[in-house]
Copies of this chain bind each other. A is one copy, B any other.
């Protein structure tokens, strides 16, 4: 229905819209999609003609309901494929993104529905991001960042804020893996770093920077 490129533009604009609430300007799209502003202008004209977004010269763009729907469908596909790669094929946390960028453009509604079923209708992908449902609904997640936990509190590692490959690799090499139970032993007043215990055995020292980028499900 929509091309590889069109889907990528819509997804990028959708993600920018999630953060800003104002119309998205050309340069922001160009940076996010790693292309030139002139190319973006061309493409948004085309998307505007197809009623996927509203565009006024020099004023930036806003997705229409249709554009948003297509974007959310693409996000849904991306996150389901990431979950497949991680849960079924044992790809590491940091390796799934690039492959899912390709897989998300496969055209088949039936494929996505069956994949969703096969994975057990997961609510979140391996990075802790919510997976939109078949009708585009997105569940609120009750994850908090690790640095919000008090001394003595426990959480289950459920996702990340920073998605960079560097950060994800760092986590994995320290056994900070999805699903692991983590307990805050001490918050060091001096630098706000965290001393934590992972699933009974390992004790680790985490910088505040790291603690601010890990999502946990808080245990009562």
Chain A residues within CB distance 8 Å of chain B: 85, 88-91, 95, 98-99, 102-103, 106-108, 110-111, 114-115, 117-118
Contacts and interface: CB of A to CB of B under 8 A. Distances in A.
Given A95-B110, A110-B95, A89 B103 contact: no
Copies of the protein in its oligomer: 2
B114 A90 contact: yes
B102 A114 contact: no
A85 B110 CA distance: 11
18 contacts: A85-B111, A88-B118, A89-B111, A89-B114, A89-B117, A89-B118, A90-B114, A91-B110, A91-B114, A95-B110, A98-B108, A99-B106, A99-B108, A99-B111, A102-B107, A102-B108, A103-B103, A103-B106
Q: Which A-B residue pairs are the 9 nearest by beta carbons?
A: A89-B114, A102-B106, A99-B108, A89-B118, A99-B111, A88-B118, A103-B106, A89-B115, A102-B107
A92 to B, nearest CB: 10
A114 B89 CA distance: 6
A154 B91 CA distance: 42
A79 to B, nearest CB: 17
Contacts of A102: 106-108
A91 B118 CA distance: 12
Contacts of A98: 108
Nearest to A98: B108
A108 B100 CA distance: 11
Residue with the highest number of chain B CB atoms closer than 10 Å, among A98, A102, A107, A117: A102
A105 to B, nearest CB: 8
A98 B95 CA distance: 27
Nearest to A111: B99
A68 to B, nearest CB: 25
Nearest to A102: B106
A95 B110 CA distance: 10
A77 to B, nearest CB: 12
A100 to B, nearest CB: 10
Contacts of A115: 89
Nearest to A117: B89
